[in-house]
Amino acid sequence: MNKDKVYPRTGDKETVYLKSTITKPNITVGDYTMYNDFVNDPTKFETNNVLYHYPINDDKLIIGKYCSIACGAKFMFTSGNHNMNSLSTYPFPIFYEEWELNGVDIKNAWNNNGDIVIGNDVWIGYEAVIMQGVHIGDGAIIGTRAVVTKDVPPYTIVAGVPAKEIRKRFSKDIVAKLLELKWWNWDDETIQRNLPNIMKGNVNGF
């Protein structure tokens, strides 16, 4: 295993270990999280998929370990928002020179909903959109082209626009055991030794 490589599959330039492509300090990605893109260069994830993510806001994208992110998934940040507390949604503070406003108040042009936090072992489907401030729990699944506007509990499947819960992946007891085990924090050798149980869904085999 080599979690630091960019392309984990021989001859496949559409799939990357995302952590190895990240350069911005306000984006954090865990080990073995993969991104596949058959339209654009997957190494350009920061530019093509993380939108309106400007340093002025100090908001972060945090993605856990062993996540699977499908082609075209987008993460929409605060600067793509507009201030709905104002009488106008027009972003006057951005054009402070034009309107003789104080340039230090530029962040008043939008509502800041905070960081996007993705747990571990999360599957984000094709062209799904994750909105600012959303937290997605461990083991969750986000359906194709879903627009996620609210937090998603662990091991929950959501889909639709806006995304709504479809069902839980497992019973409460199994979810509780998985959240206690946190297998994604095990070392590589322990995970490899337990792959038969992980892949067959045998939570009682650990």
Q: Is 82 designated active site? A: yes
* Catalytic-role residue among 5, 44, 82, 182: 82
Residue 64 burial (10 A CB sphere; 0-12, 13-18, 19+): buried
Coil, strand or helix at 77: coil
| Residue labelled with tokens 């339209």 | 39
For tokens 């093509």, the residue is 48
Run of H or E including 51: strand 50-51
Would you call 172 exposed, middle or buried from its count of C-beta atoms within 10 A (0-12, 13-18, 19+)? exposed
173 CB-contact burial (10 Å; exposed 0-12 / middle 13-18 / buried 19+): exposed
Q: Token match 């819960």: residue?
A: 165
Give me 154's structure tokens: 């662990």
* Catalytic (active-site) positions: 82
